[in-house]
Amino acid sequence: MRCPRCQGRMFAEKYYDFVRSFDAWKCSCCGDVVDSTILQNRARSSSSFLG
Ligand SMILES: [Zn+2]
């Protein structure tokens, strides 16, 4: 998994929402957090991702 922002290495991390827990990816370089919901929203909003 590469960071979509800086192409750095990302590692899986467990996050806790109000009602659930979910796995997300966190970049060790810039600290950007990406989870499946964010990826789905990005894919839905625009087909061309420019960063
Ligand atoms: Zn990054």
**DSSP output for the chain:** -B-TTT--BEEEEEEE-SS-EEEEEEETTT--EEEHHHHHHHHHH-SS---
Task: Look at residue 4 and tell me if it is in a domain.
Answer: no
Give residues whose Cβ lies within 5 Å of ion ligand 1: 3, 5-6, 8, 27, 29-30, 32
Domain that holds residue 38: 10-45
Residue with the two structure tokens 């919901």 = 37
Task: Look at residue 3 and tell me if it is in a domain.
Answer: no
Task: Look at residue 17 and tell me if it is in a domain.
Answer: yes
Task: Look at residue 27 and tell me if it is in a domain.
Answer: yes
Q: Region 4-29: what's the mean pLDDT?
A: 91
pTM for this structure?
A: 0.63
What is the number of structural domains in the chain?
Answer: 1
pLDDT digits (tens, 9 = 90+) for 18-48: 888 888 999 999 999 988 777 777 777 765 5
CA of 30 relative to ligand 1 center, distance in Å: 4
CA of 40 relative to ligand 1 center, distance in Å: 19
Report whether 27 contacts 5 (CB < 8 A).
yes
pLDDT in the model for residue 46: 61
